[in-house]
Amino acid sequence: MTAPTTAPTHGDIDLSARSFWAKHPDERDQAFAVLRRENPVPWSRPAESDLLPPELNTHGFWSLTKQEDIRMASRHPEIFSSAQGITMEDFAPEAREVAQSFIAMDAPRHAQLRGITMDAFKPKNMRRLESWIRGHARDLVTEMSHLGEGDFVELVSVKLPARIFGSFFGLPEGEIRDQATNAAQRLLGWTDPRVRGDQSELELFMGAVMDLHAVAAQLIPQRRAEPGEDLLTWMVQAEFDGKKMTDDELKAFFVLLAVASNDTTRHASAQAIYAFSRFPDQKALLVEDIEGRIDPAVEEVLRWSSPLLHMRRTATQDVTVRGSEIKAGDKVVLWYISGNRDEDVFTDPFTFDIARNPNPHIAFGGGGPHFCLGGALARTMLRSLLTEVYTRIPDICAPQPEFQIANFINGINRLPATWTPEKR
């Protein structure tokens, strides 16, 4: 394993520092541009983190900042393993097991559990989910469009994925739904002191995980006894090669889906409204022909915002990438946010351009067996919401977000917005 160091990543760039992730996203983008140009596979000291005791937090990490390298690592799981964790910060093994489900596994178990999931995500089930998404987006815009001002995150970005999540899993209105959605929305905020409050990073993370496990423990036997038309029922019933998920696997999967359907989609919707507020010429293009331009607009929002900043792998063998000698056991972080600004892939990568074509972004990963299963649903959510917003309150403006301090999710905590109220 590569020896640890206390030096910054490169020059004055320190990807391990909490202070780096408190910078404005534009500053971070420029830092990654420097890395792509001068040191595309740099080594960093251990991340500043409270998730492990200091004596155990000793593993630094390599970074892949070029899209070509990220795609290569994603498509070679035999060299770049997911089984030791998928974040640049290390968790204890038991925390990985209860929270990260099959995205922190390798073949053959990863293939089996992903196969079970694919069975649940069959086309007829996805058509039902898409209908729910469109309905929830329409209802939410109706509820806020007459106000004329408010925090878009509070009014829409938090509520839309929460309602979709409730529909996904057939969560009844009330305490159970509130417990699950609240836990899902705070789970990935361990790096942000405004989200964490007086809790430690580990306390916030594990508290949210345990809340989600408690909800799943109530629902799983209910769905076995009385199947419904919801994702948890489909997961309880689904099988692959004659195997079904165990209760513990279902609980971990519930955590994974809770986060995927809440946190990432929540922040993607806020990032979209912010992007169109920051670049009014692009909003004008969209409003001019929403039906004809919504699909490429969604793709550019995903590239521009990169809701998931990174995924991490662990090298199973010695490998050299662009001259950097990665040793077996080393952590390797795949920076999607950097790959989506790669000058070798995108013309004018720092320009928000909804007519960009082609747009080979890696917002959902670089391919391979861990490519995100929820990409189609995330696109549906953004397409439905942005169509409603820019058809009904097209002058909405929200140029001053409060960004979340995070190295995993590209989040927005608050997004004050104004618009011409829709008449009722």
pLDDT tens column, 361-413: 999 999 987 777 678 788 988 999 999 999 999 999 999 999 999 999 999 99
Cα–Cα dist 50/291, whole Å: 47
User: Residue 254, class by beta-carbon neighbours within 10 Å (0-12 exposed, 13-18 middle, 19+ buried)?
Assistant: buried
Q: What is the mean pLDDT of each run of 10 residues along the chain (424 residues)?
A: 80 96 97 98 94 87 98 96 90 68 65 67 71 90 97 94 80 83 80 85 85 91 89 80 82 79 82 98 98 98 96 97 97 98 98 98 89 79 96 98 94 96 88
Tell me if residue 240 falls in helix, strand or coil: strand
Query: How much is the pLDDT for 122?
Result: 67
Neighbours of 233 (CB within 10 A): 21
pLDDT tens column, 171-206: 877 888 888 888 887 877 778 888 888 888 888 888
Cα–Cα dist 62/181, whole Å: 34
Query: How much is the pLDDT for 373?
Result: 67
CATH for 18-418, options being 1.10.630.10, 1.10.10.10, 2.40.110.10, 2.60.40.10 = 1.10.630.10
For the chain, the helix, strand and coil percentages under 3-state DSSP, each to the nearest 5? 50, 10, 40
What's the token pair of residue 344? 């070798």
Would you list the DSSP string of 17-51?
A: -HHHHTS-HHHHHHHHHHHHHH-SS-EEPPP--SS
